[in-house]
Structure 1
């Protein structure tokens, strides 16, 4: 993966979109996004889809004050940010519900609104469905739920590390082994072990000499990735691939999409993303205008207040002058009245 270079605005970090992940340090990006969820909350935000648009704009504004995109990736940047937020917000709200206590940054009114929504029959039914999906055993009965050793870092990040270690593009199986084996060398679950055994057998078969006594065939990275694709059963309905997650997008988009179809599909997706981005820009511009109008109103009010203060000071000065003049005149009058009458006859 060749890294693209870009000059970031002062104080900004440049992020590259790989698959549907941010690099570098996608896990730190995720932590930053989650922290912003705690700065402001939406009363309607029981899920990311229900978070009001103004709140999403607030979160995005915070994000682009710290991060920026590689040239040519603005649309992907926005789409990836939205994907991150949807997942992180879901996890954020799940742990809040699981804990069962109101966080300090959530008001009682908003917490009450969320609790009411979570108690509805429809919500409970969806929650049970999601729970069942999380507990699904993709490898079949008694194989356990899907597990890995990636930790908080995405598989894309582990792939980049592995590429640096190997000084070449790693195969899907190498990525799988890095993220599905424990420190002691054992696999995280029975499905991982079974997949490795089958993959080893398939590679051995594909490498056999084409003629008796000939040399074993050398398989390219694409050949090995094709075998992996077949062994794991292809992509799921959400375009992921067992053992690779979003890295499947990087590994198989070129292999599985004919040039014409890929270009047409990508063009439609890009147009949709551009429209969404344009709408966001318009909303941001409108928000900026409202903020500018508010700043102007405050400046006008401050100017009016200063003028009123000056007018009041001038009025007070005039009143003090009148009082001083009146006092002086009164003192003069009293002085004449208290003169000795005999002085006037002399």
Structure 2
């Protein structure tokens, strides 16, 4: 999909069926015949074949099995500048299908660019939200590699293997003219130019991409600050700066941030209150670097390809960096707040567990005391019942001695008429004791020693 044209997928019904518009409304791309006396609107022309083929490739289910592209490299995804295999595939694609005497990207025919882009679509998968950014990075990487490879081969007078003899002869002849030589000399002076009083920009990163260096410097999912990246990429093996402008800019930013944190300015206080210490300082360093490192072209000096990460084609670089930094600062504040809330929740859980333990201990103690009291009361009642029924059930009525019985003769047993009743009472089950006189209860308690 080309930059600037709307994205359309086959899942959208409007992409396949003709659109309907009310009378008098002219759809985009249509030609109105109102000027010739007609009140009807001409429907929009169908999408060209290249456009429909591109949409079909983007919606192909097989793409989900291809390597994924993501700026944050989630779940092992790949990204431009960090993973060399992406650039290697781009270079192999255009070198394997060049077939022309094209000295740069501007001379490549549109149909050939579409073929290279469609090959890239079939080899990788990405979410729709990154489509415009990925197309922009793919186009820029293809443009850079084409220009660099062709220019290097032309300077060395070495014919590349992907170009035929006829095409190479045509290119050499074209760039041997005086006009082409003057243009090349002007471009060389522009590349080596520097601001007044300063030297040409240099870095010590070598052939490595700044994005790859920043990714390797990241620790615990925290990217390095812009000043740390500038120090890493613009110093030699002995630690000295190879670019004086980067050194001046970095020292100026670090000094401003230190004064901001020491003086307790509102900006420094708000940042340190909302984020952790090191994270807050990194945000302040990046913010000051963006503010002080902006150049006339709208880019940030000394950041290289890092500044193009998560950038939008329609938004300036410094605006996109500031917006991403604000989002990162808010997310860091949310993470700190969530961590503090989790700690508070953990403390509340511990207090609640201790309270439950205390309630359980108190309940056990109360239950044990009530059980002991109930057992004591049952013992008292059983003792009282045994003392109350024992005299009444075992006592025998006293028999009067017979006065008329002569001495010396055995006394015949006298059977009382109340004896069967006494025996019946002794064998009857004990009944519950009902005490109507409180004095009797006191007497029994004294006898039991209570």
* TM-score tier (shorter): 0.5 to 0.7
Distance change in 2, residues 1:124/1:160 (3 Å) = same
Describe how 1:198-217 pairs up with structure 2 within 5 A: 198-210=252-264
What are the superposed Cα offsets for residues 158-205 of structure 1, whole Å, 9 maximum, x if unpaired?
223333x25424321122122222333222233333333323322233
The equivalent residue for 2:67 is 13
Instruction: Give the match for residue 134 of structure 2.
Output: 77
- Once the two structures are TM-superposed, the CA of residue 243 in structure 1 deviates from its matched residue by 0.9
Change (3 A) 1:210 1:58: closer
Structure-1 separation of matches of 2:113 and 2:183: 24
Alignment of 1:101-116 (within 5 A): 101-116=158-173
Cα distance in structure 1, aligned partners of 2:221 and 2:79: 21
Deviations 1:116-136 (A, max 9, x none): 221234432321221012112
Indicate the structure (1 or 2) with the bigger Cα radius of gyration: 2
SS of 1:72 mapped into structure 2: helix
Is 1:88 the counterpart of 2:145? The answer is yes
Assess, with a 3 A threshold, how the Cα gap between structure 1 residues 59 and 182 changes in structure 2: closer, same or farther.
same
Q: Classify 1:71/1:162 alpha carbon distance in 2 versus 1 (closer, same or farther; 3 Å).
A: farther
Aligned residue pairs total 241
Q: Would you say the 8 A contact 2:253–2:288 is kept in 1?
A: yes
CA deviation digits over 1:245-293, x for unaligned, max 9? 23224584356569xxxxxxxxxxxxxxxxxxxxxxxxxxxxxxxxxxx
Contact 1:155/1:244 (<8 A) preserved: yes
CA contact (8 A) 1:24 1:157 kept: yes
CA distance 1:253–1:170, shift in 2 (3 Å): farther
C-alpha spacing 1:111/1:87, structure 2 compared with 1 (3 Å): same
SS of match in other structure, 1:68: coil
CA distance in 1, matches of 2:142, 2:123: 16
**1:134 — aligned with what?**
191
CA distance in 2, matches of 1:191, 1:79: 29
> Where does residue 58 of structure 1 map in the other structure?
115
Residue of structure 1 equivalent to 2:203 = 148
- Do 2:174 and 2:180's aligned partners in 1 also have CA atoms closer than 8 Å? yes
Q: List aligned pairs for 1:176-325, cutoff 5 A.
A: 176-210=230-264, 218=272, 220-232=281-293, 234-237=294-297, 239-250=298-309, 252-254=318-320, 256=322
Alpha-carbon distance in structure 2 between the residues aligned to 1:25 and 1:255: 19
Q: Distance in 2 between matches of 1:8 and 1:162?
A: 35
Would the aligned equivalents of 2:235 and 2:242 in 1 still touch at CA under 8 Å? yes
Give yes or no for contact 1:27–1:153 (8 Å, CA) kept in 2. Answer: no
Please give the TM-score of this superposition, normalised by the length of structure 2: 0.47
**In 2 relative to 1, CA 150–22 (structure 1 residues): closer, same or farther, beyond 3 Å?**
farther
Looking at structure 2, the residues matched to 128 and 136 of structure 1 have their Cα atoms a distance apart, in angstroms, of: 12
RMSD after superposition: 3.2
Q: What is the CA–CA distance in structure 1 between the aligned matches of 2:64 and 2:323, rounded to whole Å?
A: 39
Secondary structure of residue in 2 paired with 1:13: coil
Give the conservation status (yes or no) of the 8 Å contact 1:41–1:106: yes
Alignment CA distance shift 1:25-1:245 (3 Å): closer
Which one has more relative contact order, counting CA pairs under 8 Å at least 6 apart?
Answer: 1
Structure 1 range deviating more: 45-54 or 197-206: 197-206
Q: C-alpha separation between the residues in 2 aligned to 1:49 and 1:72? A: 28
